[in-house]
Amino acid sequence: MKKLLCGALVFLPFVLFIVGINYYADPANILQVGYEQKVAEILVQGKNASNIRNMDDRALIREYAENTSLKIDTLLLGSSHSMQVTKEITGDPNTFCAGVTGSDLRDCISIWRLMLQQGQMPKRVILTIDPWMLAEGCLEKRAMTDGYVEFCKEHGTTALATAGNWQAKLEKLSQAFSLTYFQSSVQYLQKGLDKTRDPIPTEEFYTQTDMRRADGSYGYNAELRDVTPENMYDRVKDYILFKPELMQDFDGINPLLQTQLELFIDEMQQKGTEVTLFLSPFNNAYYDHMSSQTDNYVEMLSVEPLVRNIAKEKGVQVIGSYDPYACGLTQMDFYDGLHCSSESVKRFWGKTIKD
């Protein structure tokens, strides 16, 4: 036992060194706290925040909701697809996009309820529906579930996968001891990125870096925006060859999640909120691939007619389509296989797309 203890003590300084470097550098902003608070402070002041790196969107939305005194009349909920919808597109200066990366239905419900708890009562909610939002296999392990659990209790429905937050937190903490993260930390420090890590207030609509604007919308960095036809071919090819992680576990439309979506729409309408559903289009080449009965893509695309039927039953508007051709878009209206630009969203936003 003594030998084992002595052996552990020998390695302790090495372990502490790794943990210290990982915590100080923290290139992915997962160990230290306060980064999202800094971004939220900029947004609350009505400024755009540039120089954004590896941010926890969910932590940002919590910070913003708890600290803003600004009234939100139009609230956007959903994934990164929702983040290309700006206040100029909605036509409401009091728009805020509370979208989070990889959002699922549990996120949307939890964020909606968070906003209500903070005294917000949006006149309109624009809810982005991605195909994987209704698949249990695609539920996001980082999702906010507190408000979702309350929602399920009140509506007498079963909450799904609500233990994921603990798993995600443990995975974050484990990075403190990770040798791979240590290598990233050393490279981060060697480049001096730790000296320029803080978000920067700006009035610019786009900057060289990623940014989150005061209305919650997202501006991608110059390298991603400045795409050529050759770049686009490579980006879409990667999506075709390697299905995005959030789509890999699509196991079909879950009836329970469908019911919860309908209950969520009902709840918002009962609060007097106008509900709009947004379907963000896929890149043309990727949509062609999805439509060719490859893997489970056909069932993913069958989510659109389902959503439109729900919209008819609930009397809500549907904007957009998974079909880029129906939206009048070409490949160069996109950044990659999944994300179209704000400029392209603006072009089809007011148009009626036939079922």
* Least confident span in 29-43, 89-103, 110-124, 307-321: 29-43
What is the 8-class DSSP label of residue 185?
H
Cβ density class 242-281: b for 16+ within 10 Å, e for less? ebeebbeebeebbeebbebbebbbebbeeeebebbbbbbb
> Domain 48-166+199-348 - what CATH class?
alpha beta
Tell me, what amino acid is at 68? T
Residue 11 has pLDDT above 60, yes or no: no
How many C-beta neighbours within 10 Å does residue 83 have? 28
CA angle 207, 127, 304 (to 5 degrees): 110
Q: Could you tell me if 224 and 335 are in contact, meaning their C-beta atoms sit under 8 angstroms apart?
A: yes
Confidence of residue 86 (pLDDT cuts 50, 70, 90): very high
**Residue 174's pLDDT is what?**
60
Phi-psi region of 320 (alpha: psi -120 to 50; beta: other; left: phi over 0): left
The dihedral formed by the CA atoms of 150, 81, 83 and 125, expressed in degrees to the nearest 10: -50
Distance in angstroms (rounded) separating the CA atoms of residues 267 and 284: 35
> Any idea which residue has 């060719």 for tokens?
292
- Residue 292 vs residue 94, higher pLDDT: 94
Q: Where are the domains of the chain?
A: 48-166+199-348
Name the packing angle between helices 105-117 and 146-155 (round to 10°).
90
What is the 8-class DSSP label of residue 209?
S
Please give the average per-residue pLDDT across 89-109, as a whole number.
97
- Residue 98 vs residue 16, higher pLDDT: 98
> Any idea which residue has 């971004």 for tokens?
39
Predicted TM-score (pTM) of this structure = 0.88
Residue 28 has pLDDT above 80, yes or no: no
Distance in angstroms (rounded) separating the CA atoms of residues 216 and 95: 8
Please give the average per-residue pLDDT across 165-191, as a whole number.
56
Please give the average per-residue pLDDT across 103-132, as a whole number.
97
User: Closest Cα partner for 132 from 241, 236, 280, 252?
Assistant: 252
Q: In the chain, how long is the greatest CA-to-CA distance?
A: 76
